[in-house]
Chains A and B, each alone.
Chain A
Amino acid sequence: DGGITQSPKYLFRKEGQNVTLSCEQNLNHDAMYWYRQDPGQGLRLIYYSQIVNDFQKGDIAEGYSVSREKKESFPLTVTSAQKNPTAFYLCASSPQAVETQYFGPGTRLLVL
């Protein structure tokens, strides 16, 4: 049963703390993406990776970091430098970079 999984569903961050959001896909897709959604707004691209061991900054990469050591996994770290981290985070993947993207269920990050 192929798909994209994100964990956890809800995540709480304390001030000054780094947190890591997980994204795993078993679709054998080359490309993976991280988006952020804020209330009443569209999705904004944080980082994307077209191939293993390579990734590029999106439109709002400041305060975030990623790694792509395996094809199936694209974890996102929200660092303490991200001053407004409360949002709904969505991971997506596509067979290759220019094809339709398919999304995971999302992780809601809240700041304590």
Chain B
Amino acid sequence: DQQVKQNSPSLSVQEGRISILNCDYTNSMFDYFLWYKKYPAEGPTFLISISSIKDKNEDGRFTVFLNKSAKHLSLHIVPSQPGDSAVYFCAAALSGNTGKLIFGQGTTLQVKP
């Protein structure tokens, strides 16, 4: 049972345009969400996070939006750059002091020059 889903395996955008990566979840007990970026054969790099008490968090070119009623979050990258080309994973953490993260399958973003 996939509790965190990234339904788009891949996304291609032009340099300078907006990239929107989507993530859906099923468990209403998730209270903290994160986005990671991963290059092949490397470990994921933390990008941005959001608590369930917020609906938006912004850090430079990266903004994460959370819609709790729809159980949906999205990552916006503006403007997109070729160096943003990577696999992006969303992850969710359950409330309580476990530290367990549940990851989506990932979306491969390609930013074309």
Interfacial residues, chain A to chain B (CB-CB below 8 A): 4, 6, 31, 33, 35, 40-45, 48, 50, 58, 88, 90, 92, 94, 96-106, 108
Contact = CB atoms under 8 A, between A and B. Distances in A.
Contacts of B43: 4, 6, 90, 92, 103-106
B61 interface: no
Interface in B16-66: 32, 34, 36, 41-46, 49
Nearest to A10: B41
Contact of B103 (A6, A42, A96, A100): A42
Contacts, number: 65
25 contacts: A4-B43, A6-B43, A31-B99, A41-B106, A42-B4, A42-B106, A43-B89, A43-B91, A43-B103, A48-B100, A50-B97, A50-B99, A58-B100, A88-B41, A90-B44, A92-B43, A96-B99, A98-B97, A98-B98, A98-B99, A100-B49, A101-B101, A102-B46, A106-B42, A108-B41
Interface of B: 4, 6, 9, 32, 34, 36, 41-46, 49, 89, 91, 93, 97-101, 103-106
B35 to A, nearest CB: 11
Nearest to B89: A42
A34 to B, nearest CB: 12
A106 B103 CA distance: 17
